[in-house]
Amino acid sequence: MLVSDFASQAALDAYAVHPEHLRVKAEVADLRTARHQVDYRVPDAGEQTA
């Protein structure tokens, strides 16, 4: 299981295309039996939510 926290959407976007991330992703692709992805945004401390 991989759990990652990113400071911004831009940081997540950069991670998604980073060469090392892509290398590891390809390396473990045949080892997994299932893949599930959940992305959710956590509001900043001063940010209001609806």
CB of 20 closer than 8 Å to CB of 14: no
Q: Indicate the pTM of the whole model.
A: 0.69
Q: Which of 19-23, 35-39, 40-44 has the highest mean pLDDT?
A: 19-23
Q: What is the DSSP letter of 33?
A: S
Q: Where along the chain do its domains lie?
A: 1-45
Q: Give the contacts of 49 (CB within 8 A, at least 6 positions apart).
A: 43
| Mean pLDDT, rounded, for 9-29 | 94
- pLDDT bin (cut points 50, 70, 90) of residue 26 is very high
